[in-house]
A = this chain, B = another copy of it.
């Protein structure tokens, strides 16, 4: 079914393109209105991007969707999902080389949208692997680190997690307390101690990209910790259970107790918050795409329910003005959100995407996805309480996306600072 990896799609269409770049570049859509793509965003995507999207969508609908209800109910995460995604080339897809697909940012956004159309938790699992861990190693790691870890991560054979947030420092990571100092007994090693929390995938991760303050300088540095090389007790990753959202994504802490890490596992050149913020930037870009997928799924499900559900004289409730307005509002926000994400994707590949642009689309797309999902949920009436309609799960998930990787208000102040030149974080 999914024999063709998008690596191949991409290679093939690159080849195609050499001969037919002009005039064939954009796929053609009809003039008719399509509620699934109301503002014709497909016209903005290249043929290879559309092909990648189709591959990802087919995989997600056929292989992920059947697993999600049980996973969510039981707070379980099936690690083989990342392996399957790795086989298809969906992990770290924008990275060139190291057995990664090397696709455009827009293509990676389309993958993200496909995954989150099923579940934000599955997308979170992928974002951590792709944007935070692989993206971080690719951007800041030494060549050795890249060669050592990226191919395994790309295939989903190695699982990564990203340790930045601490229990007392959510919106303000600059105040972190985790520290790295020269290891007292192991030469050529650092010793890292501290605690990270709300870490997606930590309980099952093989590799942790952990940010800690280097004692000598007080500056934040990044470290790649290979769990298999750590002595017993140096690292614990207890899960955080009983979440009321993102339950198909496993979350935990990272507790480091004088954990020894080889010096060459420290990112060589990046200091301060620049490193983690750059990783988060990529992840946020993905969230801006992903949440639109979740919203689109809510729209499709609400539309279908409204057409099937009949009340009062056997009318489908889709006939009611109050229902139609909800669908119109949501569809509009989804269409606008995709255009904005596509625009920033193009700018990103041209080196023109300012971080505040990503704050803007992360914030707005999360906010609008959440607001509209909640309103669409009303269409289901009492039935919404049953998890089999999926909408309640999306609503609960989307609230979490609004709070993580920069809560909505925090991004509004980041934007406010960019607009006014004055910071208001107090």
List the interface of chain A (C-beta within 8 A of B).
Answer: 22, 28-33, 35, 38-41, 43-44, 69, 73, 165, 168-172, 175, 198, 240, 242-246, 251, 303, 306-307, 310-313, 315-316, 318-325, 327-329, 331-332, 335-337, 339-340, 343-344, 346-347, 350-357, 360-361, 363-364, 374, 377-378, 380-388, 392-393, 395-396, 399-400, 402-404, 407-409, 411-413, 415-422, 424-426
Contact = CB atoms under 8 A, between A and B. Distances in A.
User: Which of A307, A351, A382, A417 has the most CB atoms of chain B within a 10 A radius of its CB?
Assistant: A382
A320 B321 contact: yes
B424 A324 contact: yes
A418 B378 CA distance: 21
**How many copies of the polypeptide does the oligomer hold?**
4
Contacts of A43: 343, 346-347, 350, 352
B416 A381 contact: no
User: Which of A29, A169, A386, A421 has the most CB atoms of chain B within a 10 A radius of its CB?
Assistant: A386
A40 B382 contact: no
Nearest to A423: B319
Contacts of A312: 171-172, 175, 425-426
A426 B315 contact: yes
A261 B424 CA distance: 44
B73 A242 contact: yes
A316 B246 CA distance: 27
B171 A332 contact: no
Contact of A403 (B73, B347, B381): B381
A311 B167 CA distance: 11
A394 to B, nearest CB: 10
B407 A381 contact: yes
Contact of A419 (B168, B303, B313, B411): B303
17 contacts: A165-B382, A170-B311, A170-B383, A240-B386, A244-B387, A245-B392, A321-B322, A322-B322, A324-B416, A327-B419, A328-B415, A374-B374, A374-B399, A377-B399, A378-B403, A385-B403, A392-B396
A412 B375 CA distance: 15
Contacts of A388: 242
Contacts of A198: 382-383, 385
